[in-house]
Amino acid sequence: MSDNQSVLQLQPVQAAMAELADLDAVSSLYHRDPALWTRSPGAQQSIVERFGWLDVVGGFPEWREQLPAFAREVRASGLDRVLLAGMGGSSLAPELFARVFAGQTDGAALTVLDSTHPVAVARALDPADLTTTLVLVSSKSGGTEETRAFAARAGAVVPDHRHLAAITDGGSALETQARDEGWRAVWTNRADIGGRYSALSMFGMLPAALLGVDIDRVWASGAAMNARCTPSVPLAGNPAAQLAAFMGGLARTGRDKLTLLLPDALASLGDWVEQLVAESTGKDGVGVVPVVGESLGAPEAYGEDRAFVVCTLAGAGPDAGALAAAGHPVLTLDLTDREDVGGAFVQWEIATALAGALLGVNPFDEPNVTESKTNTRAVLAEAAGGALPEPEQGDVAGLLTGLEPGDYLSLQAYLPPGPDWAAPLAALRELVRARTTVATTFGWGPRFLHSTGQLHKGGPATVAALQIVDAPTGGPDVPGRHYDFATLVRAQAVGDLRSLRDHRRRAVQYAVSGPDDLTRLVERARTALGS
């Protein structure tokens, strides 16, 4: 009997599988029946309009021709670097492809800009680096404030508008802007594909083609996994149903901290899964809390709220044998090669949709995402008439010593992404787990607002949020706006802090001036938490 067979026989998993069978859930999903998730007519209509991801699991023949052809044309014109500017569902799959296939392809180099911190923006949109760069602005709605700001800045600094291209839904403001300004290309995606379910659509696969990834093999993997998950397959052999029952069934018993253990080559898959699961299930006071980026610890480092998914590449990956032996539930998913991320996308997408039915939530909406955006606009309006609120030096020790079993600590860093900042934050995560067994999550702001932000406000009230900010001043400016990127990122931090507190979440803001301040914070946390 395989390890997976053992864990799938756990009572909560078996009960969840039985419920999926009673609901005829797989058939309902493939027949696009919204009644699987809700009886509300309005909500049902919105769900019906979000099923396009099921149609693109294997790609379309015209895409297989058009996307590589565009990649060849871009390279032939002398552009050997792609900077993708986007957020959430528009950026996470491209970043996954860039990292998973690093050194494996001969296409353009691809980097992602999904931070509004002025240091990150200035670094990514340095005019000196843009002479051979295609800036690919990616936004489903075309109205995301961060992406609009990136587009405005890029338009002001690229050598000419032939260095700009867009991916968006048809009819969006971004499409209009790109066509009016004569950008190199405008790619329109199907509007019935939600952002976090869009990896195998234009939003993921055009960047993959520009990288030189064999997109045919990725789509073939997606199609093969889809064939294993259809209603014609017995439920007990459906890999997506098994994953859904594992995470949904165990979450209902309190093991809602879904901890992903990944080899370095697949590390970015965790970030993609994190958004999909957190934003889809974290609402109405329930949800699965994805935990990614933790190092593998001893069994006693984890509480009884954990469930583990180990991903391996051709059989190689973290060894979770000690965790399983200690009674922690562990499910293993193996990718045969890098192109098998296509199958992983499909398995996780279907599993997450089915887990939504088990948890009683609509996995296709994100009702709390707009709150922070609204608050940010209010703060920016305040800034136009005066100063921004001063950064707080909140009681971090009180937040940490108040952690209880079943909680999770969310580290939210409105800082320029980079190793100098990341290292002390990783040390803080290790410390909290070692001293409390409480799970920790981490996100760069404002990127996580388009990922785990929904979970923080709409999911279980077990979150304790530590928001870490600096106080950037000065440019780069945002053409056409009354604020610069320094003001924008500070307003986003304040706006989200207000949203968290409106939902009565434990939330502390802590201001730092540099990485050394974070290192000192870790030492104070060590003292507060004791031995």
Residue 363 structure tokens: 């996995």
In sequence order, which residues have a C-beta less than 8 Å from that of residue 357 and are 6 or more positions away? 20, 23, 25, 36, 37
Burial of 233 from C-beta contacts in 10 A (0-12 / 13-18 / 19+): middle
Q: What share of the chain is helix, strand, coil (3-state, %, to 5)?
A: 50, 15, 30
Q: Which contacts (CB < 8 Å, 24+ apart) does range 295-300 have?
A: 295/430, 296/261, 296/320, 297/433, 297/434, 298/322, 299/323, 299/325, 299/326, 299/327, 299/328, 300/326, 300/437
Closest CA to 152 of 129, 125, 131, 171: 125
pTM assigned to the model = 0.97
The alpha-helical segments, DSSP class H, found in 32-60 are 41-48
- DSSP β-bridge partners for residue 259: 291, 308
In 344-416, the DSSP E strands lie at 408-414
- 210-254 pLDDT tens trace: 999 999 999 999 999 999 999 999 999 999 999 999 999 999 999
Q: How far apart are CA 151 and CA 481, in angstroms?
A: 12
For residue 249, what are the contacts with CB-CB under 8 A and spacing of at least 6? 10, 12, 13, 14, 15, 16, 17, 358
Low-confidence stretches of the chain (pLDDT < 70) are 1-2, 531
Q: How far, in Å, CA of 215 to CA of 209, rounded? A: 6
Decide: 202 and 167 in contact? Cβ < 8 Å.
yes
CA distance 52 to 45: 14
Tell me how far apart the alpha carbons of residues 360 and 281 are, in angstroms, rounded to a whole number. Answer: 9
φ/ψ (deg, to 5) at 114: -135, 35
Are the beta carbons of 414 and 468 closer than 8 angstroms? Answer: yes
For residues 87 and 450, the answer to whether their CB atoms sit within 8 Å is: yes
| Alpha carbon separation from 474 to 30, 418, 504 (Å, rounded) | 51, 20, 33
